[in-house]
Structure 1
């Protein structure tokens, strides 16, 4: 007997149109930065600029994926898609986190090669283009910062832009040191450091989005405590066959079988169900509850049953 009682709309859904608009601005800014860096990298012979352009291009792709996911996420459920596209943003976060790690590995590989073969570079062009990239990415980072705190998809886009801004800072520092001191190895060292940071941040997001996609129980919920607390409700004898999963950023679902101490009427069950829902929502943050009521049924009474 399913009951959709609470719809907990988190902070990230307060202004989805604004979220989409901010992503669009960031997409166009990054396309402009990428094109200017490719042209500048080819003219100046700077591998640093070309690798930064590659990173920026990955940003464009990640932002497009994030934008598509925010649009899809708002589509309504239908007979063929009973959950709608509610997992689109989690999928986008997973894809973006994975590409973040891949880009980091490519950057680090290039940095190692550059370390052994430093080359003289047209540093003035490198300095100016890296300043443009810092300004563009810095603006995008500020646009997405607020939403990134409440939404995995936006966080993945935000991290792409933040790390790209840091990569551009590294290119700028490298350009200045090359211009005034002819120190060509510093660019490679800074790129390595950014690569390490990228892997650290990307792995964390990859792990979190994988847990959601694999339907793991959210780490804030301790199932044994939850079951024991439901059993304190009047007329509840036993809670078993429990499944708890996170559908997306806003929705945590639970389904379970509940044994009752007596053969109660449906109207009585509805009243108890209301109490269970209130309890689960306020104590455990579960906003979609599906309970199968039972009385004297011969089935496994284990809390977790392998289906």
Structure 2
């Protein structure tokens, strides 16, 4: 069996990511405490819901930070992949938390619709402005890493949705102050919750696909088989497995049946060609091939359990 690691690129900066996460954690602790106090004093459910979301941000950011630390740990004999999946697990946990918080907010919003309360709008306005500024700064800190890292994207989404929630709370506070429209507090809470579900679902789905070893959406197994089968001396490609280990690594494992009993040096040359083809056409950077000649197993099964 031949195994090769090709074209692995990792441009992340764990130390910088960790620093940005710590700053965001501290900012969200300040916001959460301020909004809980303000929500209780003003009677605003939207402010309390925003505080709950901020508290979930704190927990999620801590999970993300721990994941970035573990992801840097070296592999060992009993952890041959190291902790490369730590950030994927963090993304899954954070996406789940977004949806759970949203369900809690929907319940609270319905109860407030049925029983509207007077709300001290001035406090709501000032604290929502604090939330916009602090979360906006955190969003800017994490935006770059969110584009290429699922864990950082989960943290970024928590902060971005919370910034939008603070904008909604500000609008609600202004409407309550100048027009005494107090039902808007519950309406905005419901809107925040639905948006959380919308944003969290895709991330939950993507992280689940990676954890379940599903083939990435961008890759078609049959096309890869066709590409490899066109290489000279290859008779058949079967028993194929393709999975994503983390943000940076996509693995291909397959059995290849050859037309003739080739030399090991010839196989190495063919393996190099396979690696170049699958990397440049499909982004696969880890290739594990089992060569076969005259072996009596099923050559028709492209994939197999």
- Give the TM-score taking structure 2 as reference length: 0.96
Aligned to 1:195: 193
Aligned to 1:9: 9
Deviation at 1:43, TM superposition (A): 2.3
After alignment, is 30-39 or 165-174 more displaced? 165-174
Q: Aligned with 2:232: secondary structure?
A: coil
1: CA distance between counterparts of 2:165 and 2:60?
17
The runs of at least 4 aligned residues of structure 1 exceeding 6 Å deviation read none
Aligned to 2:37: 39
After alignment, is 256-265 or 41-50 more displaced? 41-50
Aligned to 1:166: 164
Report matched runs for 1:284-303 at 5 Å. 284-303=282-301
**Pair 1:205 & 2:218 matched:** no
**Pair 1:57 & 2:75 matched:** no
Cα RMSD after superposing both structures? 1.3
Q: Aligned with 2:22: secondary structure?
A: helix
1:22 pairs, out of 20, 23, 28, with: 20
**Pair 1:283 & 2:243 matched:** no
CA contact (8 A) 1:170 1:187 kept: no
Q: Aligned with 2:256: secondary structure?
A: strand
Report matched runs for 1:254-273 at 5 Å. 254-273=252-271
2: CA distance between counterparts of 1:37 and 1:58?
13
1: CA distance between counterparts of 2:303 and 2:55?
46
1: CA distance between counterparts of 2:151 and 2:278?
26
Deviation at 1:139, TM superposition (A): 0.6
2: CA distance between counterparts of 1:29 and 1:96?
18
Contiguous gaps of at least 5 residues in structure 1: none
2: CA distance between counterparts of 1:89 and 1:2?
29
Question: Number of matched residues?
Answer: 305
1: CA distance between counterparts of 2:28 and 2:4?
41
2: CA distance between counterparts of 1:30 and 1:181?
31
CA contact (8 A) 2:45 2:189 kept: no
2: CA distance between counterparts of 1:31 and 1:96?
17
1: CA distance between counterparts of 2:134 and 2:64?
18
Deviation at 1:305, TM superposition (A): 4.2
The superposition leaves residues 235-260 of structure 1 with CA deviations (integer Å, 9 ceiling, x where unpaired) of 11111110000101110001111111
Aligned to 2:145: 147
Deviation at 1:10, TM superposition (A): 4.5
After alignment, is 36-45 or 141-150 more displaced? 36-45
After alignment, is 169-178 or 153-162 more displaced? 169-178
2: CA distance between counterparts of 1:117 and 1:127?
22
Aligned to 1:220: 218
2: CA distance between counterparts of 1:59 and 1:2?
44
Report matched runs for 1:118-137 at 5 Å. 118-137=116-135
**Pair 1:178 & 2:176 matched:** yes
The superposition leaves residues 263-292 of structure 1 with CA deviations (integer Å, 9 ceiling, x where unpaired) of 111111111111111111111111000000
